[in-house]
Amino acid sequence: SCCTIAFVSLVLLLFSFPRNSSHRIAETPSFRLSREIQPKAVGNDHTTTMGPKGVETAGRGYSTGEGEVMEKFRAIRAVGEECVKEEDLLDLLNFRANTSRVIRCYDGFEPSGRMHIAQGVQKVIAVNSLTKNGCEFVFWIADWFAQLNNKLGGDLNKIQAVGRYFIEIWKALNMDMQRVKFLWASEEINKRSDEYWTRVLDISRKSTLSRINRCQKIMGRNQSSEGPAAGVMYACMQCADIFFLGVDICQMGMDQRKINMLAREYAEVGAPPYGRKKGRLRKPIILSHHMLPGLKLGQEKMSKSDPTSAIFMEDTESEVNVKIKKAYCPPGKVEGNPCLEYIRYLVLPWAGVFNVKRRAEDGGDIRYDEWESLASDFANENLHPGDVKPALARAINSILEPVRLHFERDAEAKALLARIKSFRPTR
């Protein structure tokens, strides 16, 4: 078919990419440490990094007892809205409890513009929870993927600048960098190109075109016979990433579920228990986090192309206040309420508390330590949007303040942000 011919042509084109430094990123000293930060081995030392809720996020060892395994299982499982499959996760934890190999989690992202609060805060919460429980986390900076998807006009220099900007934000938020690696697709694929492209071709050979087409939404685009053939290649490449990186857990949003399920389908049926018959592909565990909606009515997810619908990580205090004030938040409605979702999935996991200031005649100040009581009060209209919105704006501004300060005080980071803001967002 035409799509197959186009796909093979694209693969052959990428095989011809020079295996030298022509695609390497121009680095400055302040960014060099962000290239690939080796995870600290689990041991008896105790290095503290403060993150969400002020908890320690690194340097803690674990015993191999059943109680420890179940404690880690519950903590890791809580990161995702869905886990495919829970029994696989428990098997993995039981096996790795008696080995020196660390569980590897991964997420890939296209550097394509400013970072919104879900990519920033929600990701730090997830990563720090996983690393606290003995995992390492790999970020696959998908610069070639962004180029395939024509993000930022396919300009690789701009795309890579955005990747560095993402790293700067996560550093400012105290992501547990001791157990995090940042790997650039353009560099890693060139290092082991034969292995990578052989896997991509094998996935394309063993998958139907209709199955690949169902994954097209991972590119942020709808399936279309008139769409670019790059969509076929993109899905096969993203599936190959999982095996190329030796991933145990795919920790992404629910919007990436189809491509992660494709990886499970591709992996050998009836793969052996952990520790036997090395070399056979095992199905990755899928741990999908909740997708935060946009601030407007009917928006299932934030949109960078509509800046009023999303809070960006370096938004000013006044910008956050205006966006929250205009946000959809009908009285008594809990489901589909973006303000309440931000409290549930951002503020409470980060701070452990949501404080509402009210006049005495309106019931006085109130403190919420858990989601259920807040949801109940709002549903019964004991808590009004007029009280929720100012409290939410204060909480979000408190979370974002370290990021603002970083981009104000660090000259190179400030210049990088100015450059990113000059880029025109690509859908």
Q: Specify the higher pLDDT residue, 155 or 213.
A: 155
Domains 2-289 and 307-422 share a fold: no
pTM of the model as a whole:
0.81
Q: What per-residue confidence (pLDDT) applies to 426?
A: 64
pLDDT of 36 strictly over 80: no
- Where in the chain are the domains? 2-289, 307-422
Q: What per-residue confidence (pLDDT) applies to 62?
A: 41
Q: Specify the higher pLDDT residue, 231 or 400.
A: 400
Q: What per-residue confidence (pLDDT) applies to 299?
A: 80
Three-state secondary structure of the chain: CHHHHHHHHHHHHHHCCCCCHHHCCCCCHHHHCCCCCCCCCCCCCCCCCECHHHCECCCCCCCCCHHHHHHHHHHHHCCCCEEECHHHHHHHHHHHCCCCCCEEEEEEECCCCCCEHHHHHHHHHHHHHHHHCCEEEEEEECHHHHHHCCHHHHCHHHHHHHHHHHHHHHHHCCCCHHHEEEEEHHHHHHHCHHHHHHHHHHHHHHCCHHHHHCCHHHHCCCCCCCCCCHHHHHHHHHHHHHHHCCCCEEEEEHHHHHHHHHHHHHCCCCCCCCCCCCCCCCCCEEEEECCCCCCCCCCCCCCCCCHHHCCECCCCHHHHHHHHHHCCCCCCCCCCCHHHHHHHHHHHHHHCCEEECCCHHHCCCEEECCHHHHHHHHHCCCCCHHHHHHHHHHHHHHHHHHHHHHHHHCHHHHHHHHHHHHCCCCC
pLDDT of 258 strictly over 50: yes
Does domain 307-422 match CATH 1.10.240.10?
A: yes
User: Which residues, other chains included, contact 87 with Cβ-Cβ below 8 Å and sequence gap of 6+?
Assistant: none
pLDDT of 125 strictly over 60: yes
Does domain 2-289 match CATH 3.40.50.620?
A: yes
Residues 168, 257, 103, 59, CA torsion sign: positive
Q: What per-residue confidence (pLDDT) applies to 65?
A: 65
What's the average model confidence in pLDDT over 215-238? 69
Q: Could you tell me if 385 and 331 are in contact, meaning their C-beta atoms sit under 8 angstroms apart?
A: yes
pLDDT of 38 strictly over 50: no
